[in-house]
Amino acid sequence: MQQLPILPHDPSRKLVLLIRGLEKSIGVDLQGDYPPVLQDLNFVRDAYKRSVLHPLLFILPDYALTRLTKFAPDFWAWRSGVFLFQTPQTTKDYALVRTLEADRPIDSSKSPESSERIALLESLLMDYRPSAGHPPTDIDLNTCNILFHQLGVAYLSQRNATKAQNYLENALELAQQRQDVSLAAEIYQDLGRTFAHRRSWEQARLYFQQALEIFIEYGDRYSQASTLHQLGRVAQEEREWEQARLYFQQALEIYIEYGAAGGTQSARFSQASTLHNLGAVAYEEREWEQARLYFQQALEIFIECGYRFSQASTLHNLGALAQELREWEQARSYYQQALEIKIEYGDRFSQASTLHQLGNLAQELREWEQARSYYQQALEIYIEYGDRFSQASTLHNLGNLAQELREWEQARSYYQQALEIFIEYGDRYEQASTLHQLGRVAEEVGELSQAKSYYLQALRIFAEFKDGYGVQTFSLPSLVALYQQTQDEEILVGIASVFGVGVEEVRGLLEG
């Protein structure tokens, strides 16, 4: 603005102020925040009469123009003319190749590079999407279908499940109209991943099953393996350990088959990922040596193939395993290695899980302030990324830390917040541990009736999920101790109800 009055120009020719690149500040999302640049355009438009004595010519892609009309309607009302230019086919083709066949996939962070690629996909979709007066060709419809799918995958990589679902459902509808069964199967798989991200496990399972049926029908063994792997992860989240193990074993056999036949590095990488998840199942089943073996095999392949980023997750799990075996320094070393890799790759979101575990380890070693610091860092990241479910586990551990420090009301507050989130997400199993801890807090402050209620609720859930460890290690010992303290017969009635036995049988077991 300061340069305009002194800018040299030919008096016989009109000076026009050309504005390009504004779309980078405008953004692409019609449901997003109010862009500050458009807010300024809208509310200070009268000032331009005095400060800019020349015509303004904005050069914008279609999606940015749509956003301008939405967020700066007063400024838009001043327009003298709108000129539409058709993107040359050669330009569209070049952009399409550059975007869809990029060597480096979108990473899982909200980096500018990821956002730029999404903006380019959005722009391409505007060009290829069918519109009135322009009947689409088969090639255009195919390209449009691919763009819908790619945008869904891109938004899923940014953990935006709502937008991912919207684009993927559009992609699926178009693929079904075009009878493109192969693409439909891929979209079913990505919709499964989207609903898994939302922890809607049954819906995720349904989509994965639909994908698997198509892959089996068409004899696509490799894609069958990736879908079996995903079904294993769903079973894992639903604590269906044997079913999860079966799916992972089936997937692993196919990946090994492809590797033995001189398959690509992708098959080797997939072997490692599946071994990692088999290790996670063994860990949950408390099969420590089997878990260690699987994790070590996975790590060796990741190192062999140069997949440094993927090493972080396995190092993290080896840390958790070492922690379970009370190998404190080994656990800390694994966690620190995992965290360094995540920081190196700028994966801020996944840093949270390792910070959480470092907090848990510090707590085990009674390093209270260090533990609190790690938990708070993890919680801040989960809040930043809007991951409410993961916040619950960290809130639970902050409650446990406050409990260790005898800060009863602070502990109760953290546990209540965690419990509300577990209930919100319908995760009954995770509720059990938090209910049990709320019982311990209630018992410590003398609220024995409330403690009884919490302990019995936890026992019922542990029993429902056939978690013998939770029953024998946490719920029953606490209820037995409370009964010995209070002689409250309702405790015996509650235990008998959970196990479907008589009260006298429970009494006999306790007295025995």
At CB < 8 A and 24+ separation, what contacts does 364-369 make?
Answer: 364/323, 364/328, 365/328, 366/404, 368/401, 368/404, 368/405
Domain boundaries, the chain: 4-76, 86-95+123-129+136-217, 427-512
In this predicted structure, what is the pLDDT of residue 410?
98
Q: Enter the pTM of the model.
A: 0.74
DSSP element (H, E) containing 64: helix 62-71
For the chain, count helices (H), then strands (E): 27, 2
Per-residue 3-state assignment (H helix, E strand, C coil) for 346-358: CCHHHHHHHHHHH
Contact by Cβ (8 Å): 207, 168: no
The pLDDT of residue 34 is 62
Burial category of 451 from C-beta neighbours within 10 Å (exposed 0-12, middle 13-18, buried 19 and up): buried
Report how far residue 65's alpha carbon sits from residue 368's, in angstroms, rounded to the nearest whole number.
54
What's the number of CA atoms in the CB half-sphere (13 Å) around residue 325? 18
Neighbours of 176 (CB within 10 A): 13
pLDDT (tens place) for every residue of the chain, 512 residues total = 566 666 777 777 777 878 777 776 766 554 455 667 676 766 666 676 667 777 888 887 766 776 777 777 777 777 777 776 665 554 444 444 444 444 333 333 334 346 777 877 877 777 777 665 566 778 778 888 988 999 999 899 888 899 999 999 999 999 999 999 999 999 999 999 999 999 999 999 999 999 999 999 999 999 999 999 999 999 999 999 999 999 999 999 999 988 755 556 778 899 999 999 999 999 999 999 999 999 999 999 999 988 999 999 999 999 999 999 999 999 999 999 999 999 999 999 999 999 999 999 999 999 999 999 999 999 999 999 999 999 999 999 999 999 999 999 999 999 999 999 999 999 999 999 999 999 999 999 999 999 999 999 999 999 999 999 999 999 999 999 999 999 999 999 999 999 999 999 988 877 76
Do the bridges between strand 17-20 and strand 56-59 make them parallel or antiparallel, or are there none, so unpaired?
A: parallel
Angle of helix 476-486 relative to helix 428-444, nearest 10 degrees? Answer: 30
The region, left, alpha or beta by phi > 0 then psi within -120 to 50, assigned to residue 286 is left
Is residue 125 within 8 Å of residue 162, measured between CB atoms?
no
State how far the alpha carbon of 157 is from the alpha carbons of 61, 181, 215, 268, in Å.
25, 24, 24, 22
pLDDT in tens, 142-168: 888 988 999 999 899 888 899 999 999
The answer to whether 305 and 265 are in contact (CB under 8 A) is yes
Structure tokens at 14: 């009109």
461-to-33, 294, 434, 452, 465 alpha-carbon distances in Å: 42, 30, 11, 14, 6
> C-alpha angle with apex 258: 299 to 150, nearest 5 degrees?
80
Q: How far is CA 147 from the centre of its chain?
A: 22
Tally of CB atoms within 10 A around 367:
14
**Computed from CA positions of residues 466, 467, 470, 472, in that sequence, does the dihedral angle turn out positive or negative?**
positive
List the end-to-end C-alpha distance of the chain, in Å, as a whole number: 89
The per-residue pLDDT for 134 is 62
CA–CA separation, 63 vs 51, rounded Å? 28
Residue 334: other Cβ atoms inside 10 A: 26
Residue with tokens 């995760």: 427
pLDDT computed for residue 103 by the predictor: 39
| Helix, strand, or coil (residue 18) | strand
| Residue corresponding to tokens 């938990």 | 375
Record: fold of 86-95+123-129+136-217: 1.25.40
**Contacts from 406-411 at CB under 8 Å and sequence distance 24+?**
406/444, 408/441, 408/444, 408/445, 411/437, 411/441
- Give the three-class secondary structure for 134: strand
Q: How far apart are CA 365 and CA 218, in angstroms?
A: 55
Nearest to 443 by CA among 417, 473, 411: 411
Contact between residue 213 and residue 176 where contact means Cβ atoms under 8 Å apart:
no
Give the pLDDT of residue 18.
Answer: 80
Element (H, E) at 249: helix 241-260
**Cα dist from 391 to 285, 296, 376, 395, whole Å:** 25, 29, 10, 6
The DSSP symbol for 131 reads B
Measured CA to CA, the distance from residue 377 to residue 383 in angstroms comes to: 10
